Amino acid sequence: MKAGRRVLVRRNSLVRITPHHGPVSLDASPTRRARTDQTEGNARLTTSVAAVIFVLLAAEGVTILQIGRLLTPHVFIGMLLVPPILLKMGSTFWKFARYYLRVPAYRQEGPPVWPLRLLGPVVVVLTLTVFISGIALLFGPFSWRSSLLFVHKASFVVWLGVMGLHVLGHLADTASLAPRDWLRRTRRQVEGAGARQWTIASSVAIGLVLAVAVVPQVGPWLAAGPLGFR
């Protein structure tokens, strides 16, 4: 080693000190950067689409206050939500699959705290129950209507409480990560911001097509008998 140059090793970090340039961190190696891109890219996608879902759910909540008069927008927003929710489930499943398949980047990041790990599957099951029962109400036989309506209402009440805990548990991460692909100063820090933006936009566009296609079913559904939501 030449005179005037020292090498310090701190845990997994290598720092080279030279007389002319001062400390130069070697942490941001291509391998380490690739690992960061994998996990944060997925996190940005998950939290960004979660923010979209949160706004749409807030609008859906308004329709519930007067469901008799607002059934059409209730169905419209509900169908609009389907693709973004499936996208969020997919990105979350991808993260957990990569973790349990022992992919180094995801193993290093670690799992969520155990209460959120236990809550996750409950959120998924209740979300699927709420939306599947709602869609079945529109397309299922009239004889199933009473049972499906009960399942839809009951699952929604439980889902609302569980979802509240889920949102609170992830609020800090969502507030921190969701804007990063959309702000000029941070969007280029992790590759793939444009692809993630287009993925979210496409899910919303597909939801709009789905909503427009399904809304005409509201009229025949109401004409078939009493509303039952009042």
What are all long-range contacts of 164-173, with beta carbons under 8 Å and residues at least 24 apart?
A: 165/119, 166/116, 166/119, 166/120, 166/123, 167/54, 169/112, 169/113, 169/115, 169/116, 169/119, 170/47, 170/50, 170/116, 173/43, 173/47
**Number of domains, the chain:** 1
- Which range marks the domain in which residue 41 is found? 37-223
> Tokens 């991808």, residue?
94
- Range of 17-21, 30-34, 103-107, 158-162 with top mean pLDDT: 158-162
Average pLDDT across the chain, whole number: 83
Say if pTM beats, i.e. exceeds, 0.85. Answer: no
Least confident of 19-33, 161-175, 213-227: 19-33
Q: Render pLDDT for 108-162 as a digit per residue (tens, 0 to 9).
A: 888 778 888 889 999 999 999 999 999 999 888 888 888 999 999 999 999 999 9
Cβ atoms of 201 and 165 closer than 8 Å: no
Cβ atoms of 15 and 25 closer than 8 Å: yes
Whether 230 is covered by a domain: the verdict is no
Whether 147 is covered by a domain: the verdict is yes
Q: Render pLDDT for 49-95 as a digit per residue (tens, 0 to 9).
A: 999 999 999 999 999 988 878 899 999 999 999 999 999 999 999 99
Whether 11 is covered by a domain: the verdict is no
Q: Given strand 6-10, what is the order of strands in its sheet?
A: 6-10, 13-18, 22-25
Whether 30 is covered by a domain: the verdict is no
Whether 23 is covered by a domain: the verdict is no
Task: Tell me the C-alpha distance between 164 and 57, whole Å.
Answer: 12
Whether 107 is covered by a domain: the verdict is yes
Whether 175 is covered by a domain: the verdict is yes
What per-residue confidence (pLDDT) applies to 65? Answer: 87
Calculate the CA 93 to chain-centre distance: 10
> Tokens 């030279």, residue?
18
What per-residue confidence (pLDDT) applies to 35? Answer: 46
Whether 22 is covered by a domain: the verdict is no
What per-residue confidence (pLDDT) applies to 81? Answer: 97
3-state secondary structure of 14: strand
